[in-house]
Amino acid sequence: MPTAITDELRCLLEQRAANPLSTQPRSFVRWAGSKRSLLKHIIPHLPASFGKYYEPFLGSGALFFLLRPFRAHLNDSCVELISSFVAVRDNAPLVAKIATEKALERDEYYRIREYRSTDDIRRAAEFLYLNRGCFNGLYRVNGSGKFNVPWGAPKSGFVVDERNLLACQEALAAPGVILSSGDFDKALVGCRRGDLIYLDPPYVTQHNNNGFVDYNERIFSWADQERLAEKAEALRRRGCHVIVTNANHRDVLSLYPHFKSYVLRRSSTLASSRHRRGTVTEAILVGRS
């Protein structure tokens, strides 16, 4: 049965998006590139109804937790991120308990970063602890696959909100919600006419008109951008409602000739100091058959 987004529900979604830190469920991880602050710009482009929801670049899952669809396929290439979502789905109370056992402080952060557990639930709790303590919510591993983001000196000792984690568990445990880790193309197998597809590939905005391709090649190659655009167009032609958030760059926009583009502006959050942060622009691309 399709999910209907009535005018009343759209208004409710707008209210929730305007208060992202107090609504539940909300994302339980910090994630570079999270669209939490951009939800209010995405809501106007949601369809009046949709079948299944697909998000192959899950990240923080901000839009999923806002919509709370009963049928969804959530995917990300980061195995540890998806493992944390699975652990929350399966046992949020225990994840919360373990994540808050130790105070959030520098020495403990580096100890946990160095000596990770193998148990799935405990490792997910450690992931949440490290996510709160690390610099800017970044996720980065070294050549050996070990998480190596430095201590970020957070202003508070907050790690996790157990009530919110329980609300997230309820959303993730819906019978029609699937979690997977892998390439975006495989996560989009089975999309049908009327489904809602949200594509938010990794990208940075700083080099919008100079060196964009070279700079972004390290996180999501240009070949992958082209492959994603081809997939998005195929889904649009199939009758899916496709929303893409990406860099507002002429080369990116040229990949989506049949999509309507909208420019939005926001404050940059990735620079190391506040005075180096400025306004950046991003694009929302909307494809309808």
Where exactly are the structural domains of the chain? 3-79+174-287, 82-163
* Count of CB atoms situated within 10 Å of the CB of 140: 12
Same fold: 3-79+174-287 with 82-163? no
**What phi, psi does 46 have (nearest 5°)?**
-70, 145
* Mean pLDDT, each 10-residue run in order, the chain (289 residues): 93 94 93 89 96 97 96 97 98 98 97 96 98 94 93 96 98 98 97 98 68 64 96 98 95 97 78 58 93
Beta-bridged to residue 73, according to DSSP, are 54, 178
- Separation between Cα atoms, residue 31 and residue 54, nearest integer Å: 19
Protein fold of 3-79+174-287? Rossmann fold (3.40.50)
- Separation between Cα atoms, residue 270 and residue 277, nearest integer Å: 8
Q: At the fourth CATH level, which superfamily is domain 82-163? A: Adenine-specific Methyltransferase, Domain 2 (1.10.1020.10)
Instruction: Report the pLDDT value the prediction gives residue 208, as an integer from 0 to 100.
Output: 47
Which pairs with CB-CB distance under 8 Å and at least 24 residues apart come from 9-16?
10/43, 10/46, 13/39, 13/43, 13/46, 13/66, 13/67, 14/40, 14/43, 16/66
- Separation between Cα atoms, residue 157 and residue 169, nearest integer Å: 23
Q: Which candidate, 231, 224, 84, places its Cα nearest to that of 168?
A: 84
**What phi, psi does 144 have (nearest 5°)?**
-95, 0
Query: Which two three-digit tokens encode residue 114?
Result: 């160095």
Q: pTM of the full predicted structure?
A: 0.93
Instruction: Report the pLDDT value the prediction gives residue 266, as an integer from 0 to 100.
Output: 75
pLDDT tens digits, one per residue of 165-214: 999 999 999 999 999 999 999 999 999 999 999 999 998 765 545 555 65
Quote the crossing angle between the two packed helices 79-99 and 120-133, to the nearest 10°. 90
Residue showing tokens 């992958």: 224
- Separation between Cα atoms, residue 6 and residue 256, nearest integer Å: 28
Residue 47: cis peptide before it, omega within 30 degrees of 0: no
